[in-house]
Amino acid sequence: MKMPDLRGLLASVPFTGVSDQPLFDLQDRVAVVTGAGTGIGRELARLLAARGARVAVIDIDSAAAESVARDLRVRGFGLTADVTDRAGMKAAIARVREEFGRIDVVVANAGIVPPPATIRLMDPADFDRVIAVNLTGVFNTVQPALDSVIETGGHVVVVSSAAAFAPGMAGSPYMTSKAAVEQFGRALRVELSAHGATAGVAYLGVVETAMTRHTLDDDELGREVGEMLPWPLNQRITAREAAVSIADGIIRRSPRTMAPKQWEAYALLRGTINVVLDDRLTRDAKLHSLLDRLEQRLAPVRDTVVRPLVRETNRR
């Protein structure tokens, strides 16, 4: 019996990321975007400003934040802050409120990826850093702004990733953080609904940024991982396309947005697909070989002896 084509099966599944809220007019609204000095955040800041919003550009890189703010002219306001610094983010949000008198939109976009590593050999500091930026940084960004968002009946976006429901080998801190951000955003939407405000989760696939090129394209093992990714995991989008997805979601007050669109059906069917996918990956000799070579690369750095993998061929 021939198995049904996965692409055709997924294409027939609807995705219901639609809000019943009226459209959110961005004209003269005030938006806060973290990680806005480069990549997706920079493109999003430009889009929101073009659609009429005034944008607080927050980035750990002061020069990048100021550069983007200058590009936005009177609609931009640059601030330097580290999302892992709770007091610093509280002060930054207060400064935005002081400058503009209100906050309508918050986009917790700042994020990092760790160096590729298995859980056994990763540097614990890398794990802690990813969680601090990608998860705790979202909390530090969102919480101090919530009273203002509720006051204006505004909207919050937390940037998760399709990695939240994709296999996480060799990059588990990132996948773990993004899965947690998804749950944070879901809880936030329900909680804000009682106050007349809204929130959404943005799921992004592989985005063409400097971070992606460094992780997947400029590294020999990373390129092999990229070549192994099946559809739709291998679909890439530009930072501009990612930003358009988020900006459109803000206007629609969407509970969730997905880019590229090919991920939508996978997201709905992940409970079934991931059981099968995880089982296949545990049996994939090519993937095992790649993980073995990664551990051999990491072993000298971690001062660990790693024996080459030996497979039992006579197990029944």
Tell me the catalytic residues: 174
Is the distance from CB of 199 to CB of 152 less than 8 angstroms?
Answer: no
Is the distance from CB of 311 to CB of 282 less than 8 angstroms?
Answer: no
Q: What is the DSSP string of 136-203?
A: IHHHHHHGGGHHHHHHHT-EEEEE--GGGGS--TT-HHHHHHHHHHHHHHHHHHHHHHTTT-EEEEEE
Q: How far is CA 123 from CA 19, 56, 128, 149, 212, in A?
A: 42, 34, 9, 38, 20
Residue tagged 């080998």 (tokens) = 169
CA distance 315 to 312: 6
Of 89, 259, 209, residue with least CA distance to 80 = 89
CA distance 195 to 9: 39
CA distance 163 to 182: 10
Residue 199 β-bridge partners:
156
Structure tokens given for 155: 């909207």
Structure tokens given for 236: 């890439």
Among positive and negative, which fits the CA dihedral 265, 266, 270, 273? positive
Asked if omega into 260 is within 30° of 0 (cis), the reply is: yes
